[in-house]
Amino acid sequence: MIADRPRLGGTVLRRRGRRPRADAAIPTINVVFLLLLFFLVAGTLAAPEEADIDPAHVGTGAGERLPRPLLSIARDGSLGLNGKALSREALAGAVAALRRPEEGRGATLYVLPARDLPASTLVAILGEAAAAGAATTLVVMKTGQRDAGASP
């Protein structure tokens, strides 16, 4: 009914061509486009198994994107290097192959452990990666408040 009014006025004024009505879906499209831009700018592509890992939470530190090369360790100790499953035996070879392209001494390997992975497994894997010649960096999730130290 409200929409009738301008059309009525238009007929009274004898406007030539009818002004092309903007598509009603355009506001929706705008929002969807903004969503797309948001995910493009703020997100980092992650392999499904990396997305499944719940990393350790730490209260401080600067927010970073998910770095590469990324070694993910699930809570059962299974490994994935950049999203590809990796056996524990193949770890040393894969780490050694990582440093090959840049010819530098020791590429940095980013390790994303699940938060409830046993620390002994984590330390063992870190030790193997270091023995294969990589500098290692733990990847944790940054939270606003410090809740990491709360006793269970």
Partner 1 sequence: MRAPRQRAVRRFVLTPLVDVIFLLVIFFALSSRIAPFGLIPVTGHGVAAGDRPSGVAAPAPAAGPEPEATLVLSRGSVRIDARRLPLGDLAAEAARLEAEGIETVLVVTARSASAEDVAAALDALRGAGIAAVRLIAGPGGGADPS
Chain positions 46 to 75 lying near partner 1, rule: CB under 8 A, are 46, 48, 50-51, 55-67, 73
CB of residue 101 to partner 1, shortest distance in Å: 21
Q: Residues 139, 80: contact at Cβ < 8 Å?
A: no
The residue among 8 and 135 lying less far from partner 1, judged by its C-beta, is 135
Spatial separation of the C-alpha atoms in residues 31 and 28, rounded to whole Å = 5
**Interface residues for partner 1 in 105-134 (CB under 8 A)?**
110-111, 113-124, 126-128, 130-131
State whether residue 85 is helix, strand or coil. Answer: strand
The residue among 8 and 131 lying less far from partner 1, judged by its C-beta, is 131
Note whether 45 binds partner 1 by CB under 8 A.
yes
Q: How many CA atoms lie within 13 A of 102 on its CB side?
A: 11
CB of residue 134 to partner 1, shortest distance in Å: 11
Spatial separation of the C-alpha atoms in residues 20 and 8, rounded to whole Å = 16
